[in-house]
Each structure stands twice: as C-alpha cells, then as structure tokens.
C-alpha cells in the first residue's frame, strides 16, 4: 500500500511538473505572440507592406529656360518611345532572347532598327528580369508611333509609351549658351535618387549644366503593389512631383538669332553687352551644333564629324576662344600712357612707315607711313608706329596694369564653366615662365596687341563698354537670379556717373574723352580705317576700333614683294579679323566685339558685322519701347 502511495505521489509530482512546464511554454508563446502582434504590430505591418508595396520615383518635368523677354529657349516635348516587356513576348518552350529577337525583327520592318540596336536590347533582356520593360527606341515620329500602335497585335511584348525629352527651339543658334542634357554616366556621382531612373538626363554643358539642380525639380512617387517576384499588380497611390524651376537668361533671343545669321558660315565669336548693367544680350559662336542631337544621343559618326571639324563647332569661341586683340588693344596702351604721364593728349608722332629698335625694323601696316599724327589720329588711322612709340614710353608693366583694370587677363564668371582668362603678360610673368628677361622689342609688339597677349570676344566687348561708359567697371552676367526674375525680366537701367559710381576705374575724364574721340573718328571720319562700315541711320551711329591679328610671321621678302592675296593663303594661315564698337555714339548703351578666325582685315570683315549687330539691337529696343508706349495709351476693349 505504501509502495502504491509513493508511486502515486511520484506520478502526481511528474504530472505537475509536466503541466507546469507546458504552462510556462504556453505562457512564453502567448507572451511572444502578444509582443509580436501587439507591441511590435506596427513595425511588422510596415515590413509586410514593404514587401508587398513598392515605392517608385516619377521623374518631374524639367524646368524651362527662357530669354530676357520670356521666349522659351529650352523646353520639353513629348517623347514617343517603344518598350519591350520580355515575358509578354515569350513563347512556350522557347528561350526568352529568341522570342524577344523575333519581335524585334518584326518591329524593324516598321521603324529603323539596325543590328547594333537589336543586340543592345537583347543584352538587356539577358541581364534584367523578364517582366522589366526595356527601352528599344525613342524620339519616334508620330507616324512611326502610330504605325506601331496599329500593328500592336502582331508585336507581342511591345509597349508603346509617351514620355518627355528636351527640346531646343532655336537649335544651333543658342547651343553654346543653353547647352544640352545627356544620360547619366557611370562616372557621375549619384547624389540624387532621380539620377538612378532609367533614361533620366542631366545638364552637361551651358546653362543646363550650371542650373541643373534648379531645373531638375523634385521627384514624384508611385506606390504599386507587387507579388513575391516583384511583378507589378496594381498602382495604389500616385504623388505628382514638383517641376523644375524656370531659369531666365539675359540673352535677347531675337538679337542672338540675327547675329548668328549675320556671321554665317565664318568661324567666329561675338558678344553684345548692355553697358548700363552688364547683361549679355548675345553670345555667338559659329559654326555651332544641334543640342537636340545630344539629348537624343549621338552616333559615333556624328560625334567624330563634330570633333574633327577644323572650325571647331563644339568650342564656344565667344568665351573660350583666345586671340591676339591686334589694334583693338591700342585703347589700353593709350590710356596707360595718358594716366601714367608718359604722354599727353597733344602728343604727336611722325610715321615714316616703320620704326627702328636696335638692328630691327618694326613696320606699320601702311607701307608709305602716315606722316605726323596726334593721339586721336593715331587711333583713327590705327598707326602702328604711333603706338610703338607710346608703348616704348610707358612700358609693358603699366600697359598690363591698365588692361587688367579693364578685365583683360581675368576669367569672367558667366556660369558656363568654359570661360577662359586670356593672357596679359608682364616682365615678371615672362621671367617666371621662361627664365628670360623681357625685351624692349616685345613691348613694341605688345603696343599693337600682338605677341603674348590673348583675349576673348566677351572680354573685348566688356572692355569696349567700359571705354564707352566713361570708365565704370562692367561685370558681365548671363543668368538672372530667381528673385530678380520674379520681379522683372531684366535689371533696370543704371545711372552711369564715373565720378560717383563705386565701380569707377578712376580714370580721368580727359583721357577717356581722347580715346573715345579716336574711336568715333575710326568709323565716322573719311580717314578712319572703318569709314565704310559706319552706321548711316541718324541717331544710331556707332564708334569703334578695327584690329587685324597676325597668326604667322611675315618675311622680309614678302614685305618687299607685297603680301599675297588672301584667297591664295591657306585658311589656317590667314590673319584674324577683329572689330569692337559701341552705340549709340551720343549716349552709349551697347558694346559689341566680333572676332572672325582667319578672316583677314578687321575693318572689312568684322566691322560690317559689328555695324549690323549694333544697328539691330538699337532698332529692336526702339521697336519694343514704341510697342510699350502704344500699349500704355491704348483704350480698354469694350
């Protein structure tokens, strides 16, 4: 009996321990379930949704770029494209690439699709999951897009789609200024999720590059439900993105188009500046290129054609091209000598056709010489001997100091990223660069804008504007700040007072008046080098200065026998043709510079271009003022 009682007690203890253990396990399980279902329910619900719901970015429309009057110079247009969804093209028991290739062969009968494009698509098919759309062709014409839609039943897996691509209404006319967009490259820093979107494009040059962040906008989002394989089942929510902001530039698109057409097929650069506030009204480089080609994608042949063109269409000659200024630099030499007391406004020099320094002759462009000249006559007739004398008296360092005050030798910041500083040499610069001392003959050569000196058309336009406005510093600008663009399309005119303006270069009024008078006589005196290029319209007259920059030395034999006709000289050995001018002559408002590479004579080639451009900008301004006046007095309709 005792044995049975003991066995019962043992059984009871074991049962109790078993039940207790089960109870503990159950309690732990209930507690864990409570913890997961209640305490951390939100977290696990979120994880489940993340597996079920996929967040996808939506590219926003790129912001517009407009000129100073609101004309769109970079916008967006519909992009008709074709996508391939491999799984929808697949046939039972057939390899995915074989099915996709069969569809592409049929598609190639409807739109241009060569073997290279087909192989590129098939490589993508092999790399990506079968339900992911692959871009086959884009920027299709409406006719091609319509044809594909009509034949859609015979094109398994083909998905016609409409997106957006960049459009440049003025094409090559503003290519160097506006720039272009291109696909994101492997070397780009991915600091924005938008850059990871297939086919997304970013600014690669010009204003498109400088203002890319502003133009890019903010992405929208699409919440889609996906299955375990990542295939989209349905869209649950869509949040529109914020389009990029509009960017205003100071360019006058009408003037830009006129200037580009006027320069024609020449290899040339030009700049027009409003001297009252520094706004760049035109910035021309010819020949140019079509920026839309870059947005669509260049072929290898198209790229090689651009790169190998000897006239360098990809180079923005207005800000990147660096040229000897030739005689357009003589105003700087004159001002340096006047302001440093090396000469006075009544200084006279006799020109027999050359001057001698040591055992070397330095020739004037006029073989027989000019005779005796004053300062204004020296500028008017562009006498080289006169400026040899002036340069020798003042010295290279004083010339360089004056040129630097006028912005030469420094890089203007337009935001394009391609601006170049040119070069204004000094004696110290040469010694540091070559270890050799500056020679007196080099000063004479610098006195007529040759030798080491290099400038850009934009620098020459700003320099000319500062001569015209009495010596007030001009800071060229191209992009209008957003807050200013919202208040007005352009800056108001500034009152120019060289004596009171804090931007004054502190040059005496007498020196400036003497130099300006010489420029007036260049185009308005019968003895001026550019008299034939004068503006004949009353009230629109201009002042200017011609320049011809040698790109090769002239031998003694050539000089004695006479220089050959320009059309018998290889193009790359011909002189550069330069001209700078400002208008209207009585109350200067606009400055212009044109450099024609290997164009020949500045007064005969570049002078007429500057004349026509300055006349056009004044007429455009007059026409707009008249239209505003008519609008202000017109009675309300009705």
Count of C-beta atoms within a 10 Å radius of residue 443: 22
Q: What six digits make up the tokens of 165?
A: 């691509």
- The share of the chain scoring above pLDDT 70, in percent, equals 82
CATH fold of the domain at 253-286+319-628 = Beta-lactamase (3.40.710)
**pLDDT value for 447:** 97
**pLDDT value for 230:** 45
- CA dist 621 and 631 (Å) reads 15
Does the pLDDT of residue 156 top 60, yes or no?
yes
**pLDDT value for 182:** 84
CB burial string 390-429: b at 16+ within 10 A, e below: bbbbbbbebbbbbbebbbbbeebebebeebbbbbbbbbeb
Q: What are phi and psi of 206, to 5 degrees?
A: 60, -150
CATH fold of the domain at 55-249 = Penicillin-binding protein 2a (Domain 2) (3.90.1310)
pLDDT in tens, 409-451: 999 999 999 999 999 999 999 999 999 999 999 999 999 999 9
Does the pLDDT of residue 236 top 70, yes or no?
no
Does the pLDDT of residue 47 top 50, yes or no?
no
Is it true that the peptide bond before 379 is cis, omega within 30 degrees of 0? no
Alpha-carbon torsion (9, 15, 19, 21), positive or negative: positive
- CA dist 119 and 124 (Å) reads 9
**pLDDT value for 98:** 78
Count of C-beta atoms within a 10 Å radius of residue 93: 5
| Mean model confidence pLDDT for the chain | 85
Task: Please give the DSSP secondary-structure letter assigned to residue 347.
Answer: -
pLDDT in tens, 592-634: 999 999 999 899 999 999 999 999 999 999 998 888 878 766 5
Please list the alpha-helical segments (H only) found in 236-280.
Answer: 253-263
**pLDDT value for 470:** 93
pLDDT band at residue 496 using 50, 70 and 90 as cut-offs: low
pLDDT band at residue 268 using 50, 70 and 90 as cut-offs: very high
Active centre residues (catalytic):
327
Q: What are phi and psi of 233, to 5 degrees?
A: -100, -45
Placement of tokens 């050799």 in the chain = 436
- CA dist 484 and 575 (Å) reads 43
pLDDT band at residue 531 using 50, 70 and 90 as cut-offs: very high
pLDDT in tens, 472-489: 999 999 999 887 755 445
Please list the alpha-helical segments (H only) found in 369-481.
Answer: 375-380, 384-394, 396-405, 427-434, 440-446, 457-468
- CA dist 266 and 594 (Å) reads 11
Mean pLDDT of 513-520: 97
Give pTM, 2 decimals. Answer: 0.82
**pLDDT value for 229:** 46
pLDDT band at residue 350 using 50, 70 and 90 as cut-offs: very high
Does the pLDDT of residue 389 top 70, yes or no?
yes
pLDDT band at residue 292 using 50, 70 and 90 as cut-offs: confident
Does the pLDDT of residue 532 top 80, yes or no?
yes
Contact between 507 and 339 under an 8 Å Cβ cutoff? The reply is yes
Contact between 416 and 558 under an 8 Å Cβ cutoff? The reply is no
CA angle 70, 169, 194 (to 5 degrees): 85
Mean pLDDT of 252-277: 96
Domain-wise residue ranges, the chain:
55-249, 253-286+319-628
- CA dist 338 and 227 (Å) reads 83
**pLDDT value for 68:** 95
**pLDDT value for 318:** 97
* Closest of 309, 266, 263, 295 to residue 282, by C-alpha: 263
Task: Give, in order, the Cα–Cα distances in Å from 130 to each of 148, 186, 194, 239, 605.
Answer: 22, 24, 24, 27, 63
Residues, the chain, total? 638
């Amino acid at each position: 009996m005792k044995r049975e009682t003991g066995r019962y007690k043992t059984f009871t203890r074991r049962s109790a321990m078993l039940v207790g253990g089960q109870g503990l396990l159950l309690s732990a399980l209930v507690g864990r379930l409570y913890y997961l279902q209640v305490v951390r329910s939100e977290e696990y619900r979120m994880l489940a949704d993340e597996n079920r719901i996929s967040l996808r970015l939506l590219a926003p429309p790129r912001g517009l770029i407009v000129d100073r009057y609101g004309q769109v110079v970079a916008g967006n247009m519909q992009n008709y494209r074709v996508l391939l969804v491999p799984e929808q093209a697949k046939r039972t028991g057939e390899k995915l690439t074989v099915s996709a290739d069969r569809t592409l062969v049929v598609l190639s009968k409807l739109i241009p699709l060569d073997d290279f494009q087909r192989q590129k698509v098939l490589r993508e098919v092999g790399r990506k999951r079968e339900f992911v759309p692959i871009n086959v062709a884009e920027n299709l014409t409406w006719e091609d897009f319509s044809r594909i839609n009509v034949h859609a039943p015979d094109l398994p897996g083909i998905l016609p789609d409409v997106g957006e691509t960049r459009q440049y209404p003025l094409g090559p006319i503003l290519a160097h200024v506006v720039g272009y967009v291109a696909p994101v490259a492997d070397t780009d820093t991915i600091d924005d999720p938008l850059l990871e979107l297939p086919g997304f494009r970013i600014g690669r040059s010009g204003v498109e590059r400088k203002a890319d962040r502003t133009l890019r906008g903010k992405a929208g989002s699409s919440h889609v439900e996906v299955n375990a394989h990542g295939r989209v089942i349905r869209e649950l929510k869509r949040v529109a993105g914020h389009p990029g902001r509009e960017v205003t530039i100071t360019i006058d698109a009408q003037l830009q188009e006129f200037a580009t057409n006027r320069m024609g097929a020449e290899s040339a650069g030009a700049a027009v500046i409003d001297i009252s506030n520094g706004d760049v009204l035109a910035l021309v480089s010819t020949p140019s290129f079509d920026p839309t080609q870059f947005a669509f994608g260049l072929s290898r042949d198209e790229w090689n054609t651009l790169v190998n063109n000897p006239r360098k269409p990809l180079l923005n000659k207005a800000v990147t091209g660096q040229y000897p200024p030739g005689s357009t630099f003589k105003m700087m030499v004159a001002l340096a000598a006047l302001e440093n007391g090396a000469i006075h406004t009544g200084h006279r020099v006799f020109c027999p056709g050359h001057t001698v320094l040591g055992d070397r002759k330095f020739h004037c462009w006029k073989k027989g010489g000019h005779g005796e000249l004053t300062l204004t006559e020296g500028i008017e007739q562009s006498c080289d001997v006169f400026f040899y004398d002036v340069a020798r008296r003042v010295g290279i360092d004083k010339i360089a100091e004056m040129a630097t005050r006028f912005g030469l030798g420094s890089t203007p910041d337009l935001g394009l990223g391609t601006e170049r500083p040119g070069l204004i040499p000094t004696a110290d610069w040469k010694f540091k660069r070559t270890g050799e001392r500056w020679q007196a003959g080099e000063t004479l050569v610098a006195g007529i804008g040759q030798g080491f000196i290099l400038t850009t058309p934009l620098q020459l336009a700003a320099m000319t504007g500062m001569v015209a406005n009495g010596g007030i510093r001009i800071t060229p600008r191209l992009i209008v700040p957003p807050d200013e663009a919202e208040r007005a399309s352009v800056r108001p005119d500034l009152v120019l007072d060289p004596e009171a303006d804090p931007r004054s270069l502190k040059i005496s009024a007498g020196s400036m008046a003497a130099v300006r008078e010489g420029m007036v006589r260049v185009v308005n005196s019968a003895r001026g080098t550019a008299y034939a290029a004068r503006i004949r319209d009353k009230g629109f007259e201009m002042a200017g200065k011609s320049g011809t920059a040698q790109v090769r030395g002239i031998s003694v034999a050539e000089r004695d026998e006479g220089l050959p006709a320009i059309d018998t000289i290889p193009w790359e050995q011909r002189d550069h043709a330069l001209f700078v001018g400002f208008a209207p002559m009585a109350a200067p408002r606009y400055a212009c510079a044109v450099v024609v590479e290997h164009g020949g004579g500045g007064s005969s080639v570049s002078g007429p271009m500057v004349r026509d451009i300055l006349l056009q900008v004044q007429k455009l301004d007059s026409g707009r003022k008249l239209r505003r006046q008519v609008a202000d007095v017109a009675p309300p309709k009705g």
